[in-house]
A = this chain, B = another copy of it.
């Protein structure tokens, strides 16, 4: 592999950062800032088909207190994640995980996301060829309010196996965003939205811990779709775009961005969770297996927990207009989910591709 790195070339065109290029507390400001428009929202809808009412109907959004239709929370997450790829994970051997994804403020057309990442952990692997980099990524809107933040960790190649290892620092990560810290947008009233607008009368009260929901439908992925989405997010990870290289790779074909699968599963979950239209946190996600164009994605969800949501004021009081459900959405490829395919004795069913654990905000009656 001799691409890049020749003479003056290496100075101007980036081949990405290697493990040695990361230092604890180092901060990367990811270029460029990204202004989002209704064009991005329309593409998101065309590519995933999400039908959640809050992101579909401006009158409903305004009736709830929004100034106009907000973007889908996952679109915002993908934008922040994509912005970070060029600096953080271009030489990643593996995206090991992410956690403590906080989605706070609703974002509206015209807003600009500025994304940066701080290195919060480093650990060289015993093989001496790779290391794990932990970063906390956050995106601010034009008002410098945090819109999304998350921790992720990636296994990155060393440029030179002989370079000395950094001091090992591994951040403590909570496996679940604590209920007490969940944030529902201030000034937004979720209470009892019109059932005929939001797709049914189901509210937070109607879901029970332990309940499982098969979302029934399946969506087949095309290369043009996942590449268009991933480019929209400014995500430049090579495995998604370059069939010439991937032909010689492990799978012989382009790998679909994991976030693309999340958004497909989320869109499918409307059937069964129509009023779960806001995601306020992602506890973690495992991309259990690779997904390719031609695969058909199915999904099911389990209710892991339910909780009230504290008022933003900081008083020890709960909001009465909404509550949170901790959801585990499992996606498969080429396997309908009527039997809720899962892991057993630590091993996943071979068709499972995603195991996503997150908190959604739902209206209360």
* A interface residues with partner B (beta carbon < 8 Å): 2-9, 12-15, 29, 31-35, 37-43, 45-49, 51-53, 56-60, 69, 110, 112, 114, 142, 195-200, 202, 206, 208, 211-220, 222-225, 227-229, 231-232, 234, 236, 238, 241-245, 254, 271-274, 294, 296, 298, 334, 336, 338
Contacts and interface: CB of A to CB of B under 8 A. Distances in A.
A49 B220 contact: no
A215 B46 CA distance: 28
Contacts of A298: 244
8 contacts: A8-B211, A37-B39, A47-B231, A49-B234, A217-B236, A217-B242, A220-B243, A224-B225
A57 B32 contact: yes
Contact of A245 (B114, B213, B218): B218
Contacts of A243: 220, 294, 296
Contacts of A15: 216
B32 A53 contact: yes
Contacts of A40: 39, 42
A142 B59 CA distance: 8
A197 B39 contact: no
A236 B59 contact: no
A87 to B, nearest CB: 10
A130 B48 CA distance: 32
B12 A228 contact: no
A244 B296 contact: yes
Contacts of A222: 222-224, 227
A336 B217 contact: no
B229 A32 contact: no
A38 B232 CA distance: 13
A46 B228 contact: yes
Interface centre among A29, A39, A272, A336 (most CB of B within 10 A): A39
Contacts of A6: 214, 338
A13 B220 contact: no
